[in-house]
Structure 1
Amino acid sequence: MPNKTIYVSEDDLKLFQRAQELSGGNLSQAISTALRRYIEMEEGRQEGYDEIIVQVGQGVGRKQRFSGVLLGEWGRTTGSRVEMFRVYRSRTGKYVLHIDRSPDWTDSASEGSENWLEGLFSRGAWKTYLGLADSNWGFVQGEATLEVVASFEDLRGKVPDEFYDLIADVATRPAVEDLDI
């Protein structure tokens, strides 16, 4: 196996020692992993892609990271929830759909009402306003999902039609357009 000698400045010695500790004693593997990630992200940045980190799952969930460019965002309300759609083009040419749904909320004072305006003037709501009854607020955890599709056409039906039409033209453009000026 070929060897490379790396000279480390006195100031960076603690950094290399900590990397060796975290890697279980294999500093070479830690350096290779860090360089692989650096090259991947830097080449992507030079091509116009950003490092994207999104939350996925219920509540706080977990974070997922990829290299991509945002093509567009679209928000809408459905009942007592807000949905936010984001579509990215990944560095590998796939399309990434991130949907973030807010928590669903309810108010016990307006329960049983067909709509929020009716609930605002309901008997239960007025009792709460006058301090004659307690109001209980609750919600079901929101959730976020991430889906990767092979082609732009695969997004049809997964996002609102208006949003699909809006970003259809943008999807074919390069991440960065070099101008000869």
Structure 2
Amino acid sequence: MADYLNNNAGMDWDDAIENDGQEFIILPEGDYNFTVTDFERGRFPGSAKMSPCNKATLTLQVKTEDGIASIRTDLILNRVVEFRISAFFRCIGQKKHGERLVMDWNKVVGSRGRAHFKPRTYTDRDGNERQANDVDRFYDYDEKNFPAEDDWMEITGDADDLPFN
């Protein structure tokens, strides 16, 4: 999230530009560890099956050999799909199966979990066929899925410079 905050700065009309963006990575169907890097509050406008309600839009990042895959997924805050919200909070280790939980959205960014992702094909508004990554299901949190060392954090410099030696 720090990268997002550092790159989320306004620009002047005569600023120089160089960032061409990141190639969008489509994950092959499978199970992947992810880190939640962003959370936005929003509104679901409603549908034939669900009334309008709040929604949480999450950005999940998956580290791959080709780079970082970024997946956006919505959690609709409606009792009809409460099972999916519950699965997400179990996935990031905030909830146990069968336990009642008041959702703590302040602890979501930075959380890690494991999920099954599937590519989804859709047609964009210009009629072009595109693909996106979808979360098929969240798995309950299991420490064994995450190495003891956090490979998301890069430590640079000499070991002598580290404050905990």
The TM-score range, normalised by the shorter chain, is under 0.3
> What is the TM-score when the length of structure 2 is the normalising length?
0.26
In the superposition, the TM-score normalised over structure 1's length comes to 0.24
Structure whose residues are more often helix by fraction: 1
Q: Over alpha carbons, which structure has the higher Rg?
A: 1
